[in-house]
Amino acid sequence: MSVTLGLDRLCASEFASLRGKSIGLLCNQATIDSSRVHILDHFMRLHKEEFLNLHAVFGPQHGLFGQTQDNMIEWEAGGIDERTGLRIFSLYGEFRKPTPAMMQGIDQVVVDLPDIGSRYYTFAWTTALMVKACGRDGIPVLILDRPNPINGITTEGPMLDPEYLSFVGLLPVHSRHGKTLGELGRLAHTTFGSNCDLEVLETLNWDRSHYLEQTGAPWMLPSPNMPTVDTALVYPGACLIEGTNLSEGRGTGRPFEIVGAPFINSWKFADALNASGLPAVRFQPIEFMPTFNKYAGKLCEGVYFHVLDREAFRPWITYIALIQEAIRQTGLHSVSGQINETFVANSAETALPGFAWKMPPYEYEFEKMPIDILLGNGWLRPKIESLQPWTSIQEYCK
């Protein structure tokens, strides 16, 4: 039996709860119902019929329609959109939390964003900050929920340390959190002590053990480098590569499933990883040349991930082990926040002989190391650097 999305339920109710209200809508290009109709199509029709007033539309990272391809690229909006005549606001630019001026004239916020099950994915935190802003301004929030595409049961990685809050983690959840956007919205409501009225229109008929393809719900890439559910599956580990000078495969056809760098020997790297005992994964040697992001136009060697069994595969510890193997084979050229003089901060183009951590800034954090805010704590990086066995690290993080 196919699931019924929160948006499907709102459509089935003929939007009765929103009649006559002035709406602020937070969505993006992947906010579609089970018939593949975009939420803006529904709301624009109702707006033209004067059933409701679509007062403003808010977009998260990558833009309202996925227009910013690379990561950490801000987009700006404001004023009136020429095509729709709507007021459009960016929540990934100068502001990440809606200002009182943005919220003026709104008496109901509706949120529908496709989350992918990883703490680093910023859509959850855009939603959390919207819930916080609505508490400030006394505006009720309706979250239209969707299934977690990589199942709603499995968790992995450490719980976020409150001292490492950032825009890749604002609430105490695991790296792979096993929650839905609506559940994260409720957690934000409680954690922030928001006094807004919050309603979550849950997905019906969802078996939490199911991955998205098993639910009958549609997939539309939620961001430009998240093309498939397979990408979402590896992302709880693969996003850690953003905190390093390894390429996470942006600028290739399989971002996050391909990892490498010019200083990697692909065959040696693959052989070692295949001998490491990591469950349910096979590493294939590969050469690639990214078209953008790290090492754009430069030949890299690395590995491609073959996930053999989704249930047994553990993405977070797999990419930890990969980082450790890169350190083992190529050396560690930055330790505990200090980096050798040959490395230019934030430049993956520098001709380093081996592995290094990326330096700040990263996702609006200007002091802490990017890998530390991705890991969500300050104690794990030294264990990775000292090459403690991945099996031991996995035990620490249960």
Q: Of 159, 189, 215, at which residue does a domain stop?
A: 215
Q: Are 83 and 137 contained in the same domain?
A: yes
Q: Are 291 and 334 contained in the same domain?
A: yes
Cis peptide bond N-terminal to 361, omega within 30: yes
Q: Of 215, 247, 281, at which residue does a domain stop?
A: 215
**Residue 222 domain-assigned?**
no
Q: Are 60 and 129 contained in the same domain?
A: yes
Q: Are 50 and 190 contained in the same domain?
A: yes
pLDDT tens per residue, range 305-345: 999 999 999 999 999 999 999 999 999 986 544 444 333 33
**Residue 1 domain-assigned?**
no
| CATH number of the domain within which 58 lies | 3.40.50.12170
Residue 91 Cα to chain centre, angstroms? 15
pLDDT tens per residue, range 12-61: 999 999 999 999 999 999 999 999 999 999 999 999 999 999 999 999 98
| CATH number of the domain within which 262 lies | 3.90.1150.140
Residue 226 Cα to chain centre, angstroms? 9
Q: Are 290 and 320 contained in the same domain?
A: yes
**Residue 378 domain-assigned?**
yes
Q: Which two tokens stand for residue 372?
A: 């530390």
In this structure, how many other beta carbons lie within 10 angstroms of the beta carbon of residue 202? Answer: 17
Q: Are 194 and 246 contained in the same domain?
A: no
**Residue 102 domain-assigned?**
yes
**How confident is the model at residue 209, as a pLDDT?**
98
**How confident is the model at residue 71, as a pLDDT?**
56
Residue with tokens 């099996």, as numbered in its chain: 391
Per the structure, the count of domains in the chain is 2
**Residue 59 domain-assigned?**
yes
**Residue 124 domain-assigned?**
yes
**Residue 333 domain-assigned?**
yes
**Residue 326 domain-assigned?**
yes
Residue 300 Cα to chain centre, angstroms? 25
Q: Of 166, 185, 215, at which residue does a domain stop?
A: 215
Q: Are 15 and 70 contained in the same domain?
A: yes
Q: Range of 383's domain?
A: 229-396
pLDDT at 281 over 70: yes
Q: Are 208 and 280 contained in the same domain?
A: no
Q: Are 65 and 168 contained in the same domain?
A: yes
- Cβ pair 339, 322 in contact under 8 A: no
Separation CA 79–CA 63 (nearest Å):
15
Q: Which two tokens stand for residue 192?
A: 């922030």
Q: Are 210 and 237 contained in the same domain?
A: no
Residue 371 buriedness (CB in 10 A; 0-12 / 13-18 / 19+): buried
pLDDT at 350 over 70: no
Mean pLDDT confidence for 358-374: 92
Q: Are 300 and 371 contained in the same domain?
A: yes
pLDDT tens per residue, range 70-121: 554 544 665 567 777 788 899 988 888 999 999 999 999 999 999 999 999 9
**How confident is the model at residue 346, as a pLDDT?**
41
**How confident is the model at residue 396, as a pLDDT?**
83
| % of the chain at pLDDT higher than 90 | 82
Separation CA 213–CA 208 (nearest Å):
13
Q: Are 190 and 316 contained in the same domain?
A: no
